[in-house]
Amino acid sequence: MRILTPFVTTEFRTFTGLLIVLLYAASNAEAQDAARPARVINYSGENFDRLCFRNMVATSARAKADRMLQAKTALTESSIELNNEQRAKLVLAGEIDIQRFFAEFEELKSQWKFGSIPQDVFSAQFPKMRTAALPLMERYQKGLHAEGSLYHKTKMTILTPSDFETTEEFNRKRRLTLYRNLVRATVASLDSRLPLTIQQREAMIKTIVENTEPMEPHDYNEPMLFATLPKLKEVENKLRPIFSDDEWPIVKQFIALAELRKR
């Protein structure tokens, strides 16, 4: 039988002791990790509302939809004369559109967990939540009484073709006028950062108005600057020839403010 030298024996004991220490440390670390409470995210139903309605809670979003219904009906009456029965039918159809939308919203909202949620659960849930909510978000921003709505269908039914076209043309002209004024105000905001010539201002307004779609009236409830900045982003390449190489970086910084709208 081979006898270990004192040196080998000492080294073996040292190695064995070190191994025991490492195993104990690993076991202790695992115990501490198990004892440490998991990080949680506090995400309420109100947070979900604000995700869907651009920082509004659902009650405020519904109140806004009611106001938009009244405003849309008033605009129709500005272009043609409605009798009491026609007006009542339009308002009722619009109210049904609102009820249907928010019933769908509440149904979607009920599918998700709110409150104190483990971070890993929330990280897995949030992208799915946002993707599922996106169609409703887009419908709301488009307007609940746009083409395809019960309101729009009812309007087509109760009005003569001539009256219907009169209201549509009136709305198109009004929307374009509002849009042009808002674009002009946005260009004036750039002018405060970068003095523009008259030619630059007019060229910029013309380029934006002629190459982008006017916004719907509900978009004007946003801060004026943030409402139109995304439109500048759409025609960025067409705007570039209007400015010099020294001016363009300032314009780019101004257009980049559109990213703040997404946060």
pLDDT the model gives residue 104:
95
CB 58 within 8 A of CB 102: yes
Token digits of residue 221: 């409830």
- Note the pLDDT tens digit of each residue in 231-244: 888 999 999 999 99
Q: Is the pTM of this model over 0.85?
A: no
> Bridge-partner residues for 118, per DSSP?
40
Place 197 in a pLDDT band, splitting at 50, 70 and 90: very high
For residue 131, what pLDDT is reported?
Answer: 92
As to burial, measured by CB atoms within 10 angstroms (0-12 exposed, 13-18 middle, 19+ buried), residue 53 is buried
Q: How many CA atoms lie within 13 A of 168 on its CB side?
A: 12
**Is residue 94 a contact partner of residue 72, using CB atoms and an 8 Å limit?**
yes
Domain boundaries, the chain: 40-158, 161-262
- What distance lies between CA 76 and its chain's CA centroid? 29
Phi, psi of 38 (to 5 degrees): -65, 145
Which of 127, 47, 129, 59 has its CA nearest to residue 98? 59
Question: How many C-alpha atoms does 30 have within 13 Å on its Cβ side?
Answer: 6
- Answer yes or no: is pLDDT of 23 > 70: no
- What's the whole-number mean pLDDT along residues 36-60? 86
